[in-house]
Amino acid sequence: QKEVEQNSGPLSVPEGAIASLNCTYSDRGSQSFFWYRQYSGKSPELIMFIYSNGDKEDGRFTAQLNKASQYVSLLIRDSQPSDSATYLCAVKDNYGQNFVFGPGTRLSVLP
Amino acid sequence: DARVTQTPRHKVTEMGQEVTMRCQPILGHNTVFWYRQTMMQGLELLAYFRNRAPLDDSGMPKDRFSAEMPDATLATLKIQPSEPRDSAVYFCASGLSPQGPYNEQFFGPGTRLTVL
């Protein structure tokens, strides 16, 4: 059973701070990793994907991947109240097409 | 603009009734996924299709749920008979295959189902 784990939160950070969201996965065969953001009552939308060890930056977002530790994280710099949402980590291997989603971390950015 | 559409957006029904949810994937996408999301279980994969063929429906209760793709522009998820525990938001997502490390999924707006 492939598992993806996240701290459910809520994670509260002040506006302007760095929010750090973490995700661990059980399947060593996992090859690609996705972060989705889901606002309350809305559908998930992709923020970033990463498939190489190291960091990947896109604007205020940085995804970090460590395959040896089976760990992926998302950093949000200069957090804004509009970043308040649930962040879902998803993991995929190269053999299947389906994703395995984590339970999500609820982030609250306080003005 | 290209997006996944789902109908109906909301459905309230009584226990025992049949429920049919529809999804139109993004034009040109050849994989379709059905998910169920609840507060307790999070986002669960129910079934997925590639080129209209079902590849995995192991997450779906077979006795009451069925999923089909009658053509490339329509996917359906049916529950018969419905039960209160089926109350959830059902998402459809579509994507592209062949296999690749970064093939993302695009989600539809979801169908919020309430079974009384």
Residues of A in contact with B97 (CB under 8 A): 97
Q: How far apart are CA A68 and CA A52, in angstroms?
A: 12
Q: How far apart are CA A13 and CA B93, in angstroms?
A: 31
A10 preceded by a cis bond (ω within 30 of 0): yes
Q: How far apart are CA B108 and CA B91, in angstroms?
A: 6
The tens place of each residue's pLDDT in chain A, 111 residues long, gives 678 999 888 999 999 999 999 999 998 888 889 999 999 999 999 999 998 899 999 999 999 999 999 999 999 999 999 999 999 999 987 666 668 899 999 999 999
pLDDT for the residue A94 = 63
Q: Which residue shows structure tokens 């009552």?
A: A41
Inter-chain contact B55–A102, Cβ cutoff 8 Å?
Answer: no
pLDDT for the residue A9 = 83
Closest Cα in chain B, distance from residue A65 (Å): 14
Closest Cα in chain B, distance from residue A14 (Å): 26
Q: How far apart are CA B113 and CA B45, in angstroms?
A: 16
pLDDT for the residue A106 = 95
Partner residues linked to A20 by β-bridges: A75
pLDDT for the residue A79 = 97
Inter-chain contact A94–B56, Cβ cutoff 8 Å?
Answer: no
Residues sharing a CB contact under 8 Å with residue A29, sequence separation 6 or more, in sequence order? A93, A94, A95
Inter-chain contact B43–A46, Cβ cutoff 8 Å?
Answer: no
Residues sharing a CB contact under 8 Å with residue A98, sequence separation 6 or more, in sequence order? A92, B33, B45, B48, B56
| B104 in A contact zone (CB under 8 Å) | yes
Residues of B in contact with A88 (CB under 8 A): 43
Residue-wise pLDDT for B26-53, tens only, equals: 999 999 999 999 988 889 999 989 899 9
Q: DSSP letter at B80?
A: S
- Compute the count of residue pairs across chains A and B with CB atoms less than 8 Å apart: 53
Residue-wise pLDDT for B52-111, tens only, equals: 998 888 888 889 999 999 999 999 999 999 999 999 999 999 988 765 556 788 999 999
| B25 in A contact zone (CB under 8 Å) | no
